Amino acid sequence: MKAIVTVTLKHGVLDPQGKAIGHALHTLGFTGVGEVRVGKLIELELPDQDPAQAKATAEDMARKLLANTVIESFKVEIA
Amino acid sequence: MKAIVTVTLKHGVLDPQGKAIGHALHTLGFTGVGEVRVGKLIELELPDQDPAQAKATAEDMARKLLANTVIESFKVEIA
* pLDDT on residue B40: 97
* pLDDT on residue A79: 87
Fold classification of B2-78 (topology level) = Mth169; Chain: A , (3.30.1280)
- Find the mean pLDDT for residues B12-37: 96
Average pLDDT, chain B: 97
pLDDT digits (tens, 9 = 90+) for B49-72: 999 999 999 999 999 999 999 999
C-alpha B59/C-alpha A72 separation (Å) is 26
* pLDDT on residue A3: 97
* pLDDT on residue B57: 96
* pLDDT on residue A70: 97
Q: Are B3 and A5 in contact (CB under 8 A)?
A: no
Q: Please answer yes or no on whether A41 and B38 come within 8 Å at the CB atom.
A: yes
Q: Tell me how many residue pairs between chain A and chain B have CB atoms under 8 A apart.
A: 96
Residues of B whose CB is below 8 A from A44: 25, 33-36
* pLDDT on residue B15: 97
pLDDT in tens, chain A (79 residues): 999 999 999 999 999 999 999 999 999 999 999 999 999 999 999 999 999 999 999 999 999 999 999 999 999 999 8
Q: Please answer yes or no on whether A46 and B64 come within 8 Å at the CB atom.
A: no
For residue A54, count CB atoms less than 10 angstroms from its CB and return exposed for 0-12, middle for 13-18, buried for 19 or more.
buried
Q: Which residues pair with A75 in a beta bridge?
A: A6
Q: What b-and-e string marks burial along A9-40, b requiring 16 or more CB atoms within 10 Å of the CB? A: beeeeebeebeebbeebeeeebeebeebbbbb
**What value of ipTM does the predicted structure carry?**
0.90
Q: Please answer yes or no on whether B44 and A24 come within 8 Å at the CB atom.
A: no
pTM above 0.90, yes or no: yes
Q: Please answer yes or no on whether A43 and B6 come within 8 Å at the CB atom.
A: no
Segments making up each domain of chain B, as ranges: 2-78
Residues of B whose CB is below 8 A from A38: 40-43
